[in-house]
Structure 1
């Protein structure tokens, strides 16, 4: 006999008739419950509620109902118990929420849980309910406060849910705490070890990174590259410059299905006179680094030959900062929050010929959508400096510096090599460097100033050790170093001091508004690059701002970018052949201010004539590539490596106004 639902008075159980004329007491009901006589206990409580309602009565009623399998009624009974004043009110409410959640009454569970929101931040059981429901509803902002308590729980379900809450914001303290707690509880879990190392590198915690990197290094020394499959493809590049190893970092991806790739390439498609280009990114707002490079190229696309559509999944929190008329870039199609299947439907509706992924394995990527048949030709470009492993791309756009012949075995994509640099640059919308003095910036007038404005995660122990050796050999020099946070600054300074470099020789600066950053760079004498990840946009900004950059020849795409940029502005001599040459050149230049002056004059002279900042020239080369790709697609030819021929050199400056 199934009990009916409890009404507002909790008195509608049909079992009342069983105990009419019986002596009723809470103690008797409790004894029956302890003895497993749940039906008798329930019947006693049913009559007892006619004369004695209270938290204890409702709670015992709920316990009996749970044992008898009536969870919906039990949840209501616990809710009534929780509404009574008493020391256990919160626990009763929590039990009610748990039961509602178990039987799928999510709204009822949330109603109770949200009344106790403050306590949920310290209670993993209630935090689990709130998080599970809102995570399913894609409302992540609400659940941020619960990451820490879930990660500290011993319940495996809580831990798994905590891991699902990780966001891409490494500066989020809840992400940091979550990563630390996951690794502490499961030190043998390789994915959690790699995750912990991401945060250690982000904040230049070199000793912590060294301590936990040892297991990985030992495995690689034995030839166990499979260990890398638990590493994130993007963050992997920040410590590993081995192009062979890079292709194994594939956590969160699934291997490509050759049959699906072939199906996409051979799917019926209607071509038109114009080539329809689709770009997909979450960075279509004017303050993002990608658009500081790309927006002029989008504006210059030949509208008579190309039709450009931007499939935008940029978050509204970023778009609200955009001040540019984005229609100048092409037709905007909003796919923010769409599933991959929904993205497929929208792309197919626009009958795109060539789809270009601008993200790869980076934050906010929707690269997995490219594993569906979006278009006859799929291309990876600009966002990810390497092979976008396990994503169905026909081509990767690069150049002869970042994609040399020796790299071909490590890519599933075919190379499309532009003649000068793979990186576009915008000379129209990028601010021009204005005069600035060292005094204004608090820099020493007489010292030789090395500078690094690269992201701090790119500064490895090997990089710092190299800089220390340079500073020791160039005694009249200082290092001007951008620090992302006080924590980075403290950790970096500690490493320099341990190596014998006085704190007076390290001058930290914070991030600055973009216009001010472009101005301040010229106050330094020489930019010194990082490895295995170079400055990318950072290097081109320094060259635009008139600061020569010294780099070392790299071993994979991410470590070859500065070479590409320097060659495109006719300064290949600033690419050192190896680390020793890099240090020797830095010291030599610190002792030869005349050569620095020549390099700065060269950059000023070449800014409007060399290929690096020539957006029109770049766009012409890129469009040549698209035309070749489209023609091969029309003929159902498989993708093949291609090198785009260079236009004749300019003999006069291009217009930038």
Structure 2
């Protein structure tokens, strides 16, 4: 309802009365971080970790934003599943007789103007229709936008089940004889894991929208790559891991970038400024990371930090935090909401994209790279903190992946102070954008199709799900 102040007050009172009340603490932390309110940051972080370790139900999407531990993330997801969408013990639907095309359905709340759709639209369109029958199960809003129309055209069948009860959605999926059901939502906003808990399809796959394990026995596979899930960390995933080559993240090479750029002055940037850009949700910014960013501003004359303008209170809080670190408030510049093509275009006005940790830029990093803006990241210790490294390796820029925040800060300064290095990085990215795998939408689709064929072969042969590389 947008009544954030009342929500925060109610959540504070709830946590004070009962700190183990399901989801209250994680909802409170999410609300505060969305606003850049860090007054209780360390205390809330410790309370979240303690809650997960003691079996209190915590919202996984919030926790994955705050946690660097894949082991704790698995614990969090398992507790959440037991509370919200426990395994219903349903048998796998019977194996249909062989048909000429494998029936695949993608299920999501985000078939609209949403980051997941912007990444995956090209994937849906590129599927080989002679070998795959591809459907959409949409339980999110119809925003009647261009992306919604594009997605409807991309699938052979598009079912809007936003007002259909879970058990009837399960019946629909079974009536369609869906063999591979790909869930694009996990535990993100609007997701409906109870459909999966009823074992709607013989094979159920966790992919793209939720960067980590769902902790559920009814999810057979997660699609990943060797960077986001190192082989030694498979034990922290309830799913078996499908290792896609290069990067796990689908990208859409059809996304248009407006040919005409706005002038810097039109978006509040000085022509001679060095622009550090971090177009990420405020909830991904931490005080430790902000310390680094403010030191970069302090050591780079005439520089500014360009952030997304998501909330007026967040804007005030971040500027206040900058001043507390000795940086003038006006050196934090906010970019208002813009249409997707305009947003992509304005990346070209920046000089360097600064990634976040422990939860990286995901679609946002892909956007920056597609627009030609180099992304500097620090390799995290869980899936969500390793995505930008995956993307950079798949576009031939592994030199922009650092291993510590000290190294990240040092390299950012070096890039800021070395115009020849900046030019070389942008030129390399421009050359690689069309030749390296990251933006090869058709190639990515073929890899995913190979994965579908293998998991279906295993299922038909009576073999249990197992991790494998495509």
Which range, TM-score by smaller chain?
Answer: over 0.9
Paired position in structure 2 for 1:195 = 27
Counterparts of 1:296 and 1:173, CA distance in 2: 40
**Structure 1's 457 and 258: CA in aligned 2 closer, same or farther, altered over 3 A?**
closer
Judge conservation of contact 2:22–2:56 (CA < 8 Å) in 1.
Answer: no
Q: Structure 1 residues 295 and 191 mapped into 2: Cα distance closer, same or farther (>3 Å)?
A: closer
- State the Cα deviation string for residues 145-171 of structure 1 (Å, max 9, x = none): xxxxxxxxxxxxxxxxxxxxxxxxx77
Cα RMSD (Å): 2.3
Cα distance, 1:344 vs structure 2: 1.4
1:599 lines up with 2:425 in the alignment: yes
What's the TM-score once normalised by structure 1's chain length? Answer: 0.67
Q: Given the alignment of the two structures, is residue 332 of structure 1 paired with residue 158 of structure 2, yes or no?
A: yes
- Assess, with a 3 A threshold, how the Cα gap between structure 1 residues 549 and 637 changes in structure 2: closer, same or farther: same
In the superposition, relative to structure 1, how do residues 268 and 326 fare at CA in structure 2: closer, same or farther (>3 Å)? closer
- In 2, distance between residues paired with 1:245 and 1:518? 35
Aligned equivalent of 1:304: 130
Q: Does 2:372 correspond to 1:546?
A: yes
In the alignment, the residues of structure 2 paired with residue 442 and residue 492 of structure 1 have an alpha-carbon distance, to the nearest angstrom, of 17
Match of 2:351 among 525, 545, 549: 525
Give matches, 1:208-357, under 5 Å: 208-216=40-48, 219=50, 225-227=52-54, 229-250=56-77, 252-254=80-82, 260=89, 263-264=91-92, 267-285=94-112, 287-316=113-142, 318-319=143-144, 322-324=148-150, 326-357=152-183
If asked which structure has higher relative contact order (CA below 8 Å, sep 6+), I would say: 2
- 8 Å contact 1:269–1:376 — kept in the other structure? no
Cα pair distance change 1:174/1:514, threshold 3 Å: farther
Counterpart of 1:134 in structure 2 is none
In structure 2, the CA distance between the partners of 1:289 and 1:216, relative to structure 1 (3 Å rule), is closer
Determine if the alignment matches structure 1 residue 179 to structure 2 residue 8.
no
Aligned to 1:650: none
Q: Distance in 1 between matches of 2:229 and 2:156?
A: 29
Report which of the two structures shows the higher radius of gyration computed on alpha carbons. 1
Other-structure match for 1:138:
none
Q: Which moved more, 1:378-387 or 1:465-474?
A: 465-474
- Write the deviation string for residues 446-498 of structure 1: whole angstroms up to 9, x where unpaired: 23211110011001112111212222333442211223111011111111111
Cα separation, 2, equivalents of 1:443 and 1:259: 55
1:493 matched residue in structure 2 = 319
2:300 matched to 1:474? yes
SS in 2 for 1:315: coil
Q: Kindly report which structure 2 residues correspond to 1:570-649, keeping only aligned pairs within 5 A, or say none.
A: 570-644=396-470
Alignment partners' CA distance in 1, 2:92 and 2:69: 32
Shift of 1:211: 4.3
Q: Which has the higher helix share?
A: 1
Structure 2 distance, partners of 1:311, 1:323, is: 15
Query: Aligned partners of 1:179, 1:225: CA distance in 2, in Å?
Result: 18
Which of 462, 484, 503 lines up with 2:288 in the alignment? 462
Q: In the alignment, what sits opposite 1:447? A: 273
CA distance in 1, matches of 2:258, 2:432: 14
Conserved? CA contact 1:382–1:423, under 8 Å: yes
Q: CA deviation at 1:441?
A: 2.5
Q: SS in structure 2 opposite 1:207? A: coil
SS state of the match for residue 237, structure 1? helix
Seen in structure 2, the aligned counterparts of structure 1 residues 435 and 601 have a Cα distance that, compared at 3 Å, is farther
Q: Is the 8 A contact 2:257 2:371 kept in 1?
A: no
Q: Can you list the C-alpha shifts for 1:406-451, whole angstroms capped at 9, x where unaligned?
A: 3211001111011011111112244355434323323122232111
Q: Distance in 2 between matches of 1:171 and 1:475?
A: 40
Aligned residues: 467
Encode CA deviations 1:378-422: one digit per residue, 9 max, x unaligned: 111001000012251111001111111132110011110110111
Separation (CA, whole Å) in 2 of partners of 1:429 and 1:215: 42
1:613 CA drift (Å) = 1.2
Provide structure 1 residue ranges, at least 5 long, that are not aligned to the other structure.
1-143, 145-169, 645-657
Give, in whole Å, the separation in 2 of the partners of 1:605 and 1:500. Answer: 39
Q: Does 1:207 align with 2:36?
A: no
Distance in structure 2 (CA, Å) of the matches to 1:228 and 1:566: 36
Q: How much does 1:515 deviate?
A: 1.9
Q: Please, what TM-score do these two structures have when normalized by structure 2?
A: 0.93
**Alpha-carbon distance in 1 for matches of 2:401, 2:172:** 45
Q: 1:304 to 1:188 in 2, by over 3 A?
A: closer
More moved, 480-489 vs 413-422: 480-489
Q: CA deviation at 1:181?
A: 4.3
Could you tell me how far apart the structure 1 residues matched to 2:450 and 2:244 are?
A: 9
2:328 matched to which residue of 1? 502
- Counting only pairs closer than 5 Å after superposition, residues 388-403 of structure 1 correspond to structure 2 as 388-390=214-216, 392-403=218-229
Q: Mind listing any 5+ residue stretches in structure 2 that lack a counterpart? A: none
- Could you give the per-residue CA deviations for residues 595-651 of structure 1, whole angstroms, max 9, x where no partner exists? 11111122222222221111111111111111111111111111111111xxxxxxx
Deviation at 1:545, TM superposition (A): 0.9
Following the alignment from structure 2 to structure 1, what is the Cα–Cα distance between the partners of residues 401 and 407?
Answer: 9
Deviates more, 1:448-457 or 1:201-210: 201-210
Residue 576 of structure 1 and its aligned partner are, at CA, apart by 0.4
Task: Report the Cα distance in structure 2 between the residues aligned to 1:215 and 1:254, rounded to whole angstroms.
Answer: 21
Distance change (3 Å), C-alpha of 1:258 and 1:195: closer
Question: Contact conserved, 1:399 with 1:422, CA < 8 A, in 2?
Answer: yes
